[in-house]
Amino acid sequence: GQNIDQPTEMTATEGAIVQINCTYQTSGFNGLFWYQQHAGEAPTFLSYNVLDGLEEKGRFSSFLSRSKGYSYLLLKELQMKDSASYLCAVRDITDKLIFGTGTRLQVFP
Amino acid sequence: ETGVTQTPRHLVMGMTNKKSLKCEQHLGHNAMYWYKQSAKKPLELMFVYSLEERVENNSVPSRFSPECPNSSHLFLHLHTLQPEDSALYLCASSERRISGANVLTFGAGSRLTVL
């Protein structure tokens, strides 16, 4: 079956670095997405990886290893506003987008 | 503001009521989607419309009835719902339906409570 695994909850301190992991088992692979969702708000696109390696975008970076079925989202210089849920999603061989349950990140002062 | 607007933001209805959720996108996208988001569960794709034609229906019960009158508007008509249908219903749009890098733009959702 298709499966996306990510931790349910994480906590971190303002100014720190946090890494949110995502492992996947899907029918083929056509790209991996990370979305951010603040409570009561729309999920918003953060990053897209289709090739192995690291994609950097400001304080946020996303890494992909297709051979390991693994990705992580790295958040640097954490701010209070980074408290949100982070959704990992994989597009499979049929272009269907499979979502994980999301990781709720709480940033403390 | 993402460019995808959903109304109402909150809805409480009884099991015998009929109501509708509305979604409007101002992005010029050609594909629109309904997703269901329940606590501690992954986002579940319900319906996909591409150029106003329904192209995907993921075994959704008939008590949910989608309508796409044009490429900017999408509705979800609800009737005789069950308490387990209580969830956040998210609308999304994208430039086109099938593409590896196709990014979804979501609305803020309609929080539905069925009593």
3-state helix, strand, coil in chain A (%, to 5): 5, 55, 40
Cβ separation A42–B42 shorter than 8 A: no
Q: How far away is chain A from the Cα of B84, in angstroms, using its nearest Cα?
A: 18
CB B89 within 8 A of CB B5: no
CB B4 within 8 A of CB B23: yes
Is a pLDDT exceeding 70 seen at residue B98?
no
Please give the pLDDT value at position B75: 97
CB B88 within 8 A of CB B12: no
Please give the pLDDT value at position A107: 98
pLDDT category at B54 given cuts 50, 70, 90 is confident
Please give the pLDDT value at position B102: 84
The region of weakest confidence among B18-22, B63-67, B85-89, B93-97 is B93-97
* Chain B residues within 8 Å of chain A (Cβ atoms): 2, 4, 40-43, 45, 90, 97-109
**Residues within 8 A of B (CB atoms), A 27-86 only:** 30-31, 33, 35, 40-45, 48, 50
Q: What are phi and psi of B50, to 5 degrees?
A: -125, 120
The percentage of residues in chain B with a pLDDT greater than 90, rounded to a whole number, is 77
Is a pLDDT exceeding 70 seen at residue B64?
yes
Size (chain A), residues:
109
CB B59 within 8 A of CB B67: no
Is a pLDDT exceeding 80 seen at residue B55?
no
A/B interface, count of CB pairs below 8 Å:
50
Q: What are phi and psi of B85, to 5 degrees?
A: -80, -5
Per-residue pLDDT of chain A (109 residues; tens, 9 = 90+): 789 999 999 999 999 999 999 999 998 899 999 999 999 899 999 999 999 999 999 999 999 999 999 999 999 999 999 999 999 999 988 888 899 999 999 999 9
Is a pLDDT exceeding 80 seen at residue B101?
no
CB A101 within 8 A of CB A7: no
Q: What is the mean pLDDT of chain B?
A: 91
Q: Which residues contact A105 (CB under 8 A, 6 or more apart)?
A: A9, A10, A11, A12, A18, A20, A75, A82, A83, A84, A85, A86
Buried/exposed B33-69: b ≥16 CB within 10 Å, e otherwise? bbbbbeeeebbebbbbbbebeeeeeeebeeebebebe
Is a pLDDT exceeding 70 seen at residue B72?
yes
